[in-house]
Structure 1
Amino acid sequence: MDLEPAERDLDTSVSRRSLVTLSGAAGLGGLAAALLLDRTTLALPADDEVERPNVPTDADVALLSQVIGLELAASELYRLKLESADGDLAVAVGIMAENHQAYAQAVAGATGLSAQSANESLVDASRAGFEGSDDEFFAAAHAFEQTAAATHTALMGQYESDDAIALTASIALTEVRHATVLADLLGVSDLDVLFGNDESALSLGDDA
């Protein structure tokens, strides 16, 4: 969803407190809504005798390797914004960059893969918005976070292991929270935007 700056009189400067508290309930609501739209996401195997493996399978690892590239791309994009951000905005952008870096490292730790290579196609596609004005950044980052959350939600329906699902759910939740904060900073008050997600999931196997 394309976001347009709203008329606003309030100070929209960012602080550590606003980044944490503003995102809480809204982030939970957004992810819950996404999961309800995809009832297959956390479905158990059809055969009651079959249990999910605990650790990521080879098929999970193939998908999660693409997730690492997605998360490193997000971190790289936020670091581009850090070159022009200052004050509280720089603090918030730095937190988001570090979060995405941590997600990539968590996936790497769970799979034994390396967390070094960003998906540069994603970086190139979003670079202009992240390097633009603050409002352009808020809109571009919001779209990226929503796309990432939609992608993780779709992937949860494909994973074979409990660990892959649980790890991805925790990542998606925080990305929904990021999106909520970014929409609020742009002055958006429409609940359909704050709590919804119109972005489509990426086809990571097709090099996004």
Structure 2
Amino acid sequence: MITPETYGAFTGAISPLMLQSMGIQWSLAGHSERRIIFKETDEYINKQCRLLISLGMNVVLCVGETEAEFEQNLASAVCEVQLKKGLAGIAPEDMDKVVIAYEPVWAIGTGKVATPEIAQEVHAMCRGILAEMYGKEIADETRILYGGSVTPESVDGLMAKPDIDGSLVGGASLDASKFSRIINFVQKPEFVAV
């Protein structure tokens, strides 16, 4: 757990200064396991993001809905709230230090993967929120990743979508052949930018 404080008695937590002293430049904030198991709130996550950025570090802000929220068609609403609260107070000039990761909770470690269409819909919504908050240029430049049981079989379809800029890989990164296939996904010629 990254504490949103630089100093103090926070047993079991890691200060961003500790990470920085080891040369670590990136940290996750808002991962669903932290939200669910450790009850990290949007406000707590926002403090983590702002502190990391203030120290010159980069942050991957994770957003995503539970299976019950997904089944109630609340994915966009949940992600919108998490995104807006997570980015509150972050200046436009600091958005180059932020990456967004859409990780539907129901897909993490379950083997279930959002279809490319579902993922694209949420990614497009996230990019729209970023445009409202920071303008179209920053929204277009901000990388939005998909995470949640990304597999060698699903990566090509996901990466073919216009608003999916990459993937945040979990379990598949523990298997060299799977991970290699994911990071070397085959981009179809019709999707190659010239």
Please state which band the TM-score falls in when normalised by the shorter chain. Answer: under 0.3
Which one has a larger percent strand, Structure 1 or Structure 2? 2
Which one has a larger percent helix, Structure 1 or Structure 2? 1
- Tell me the TM-score normalised to structure 2 length: 0.24
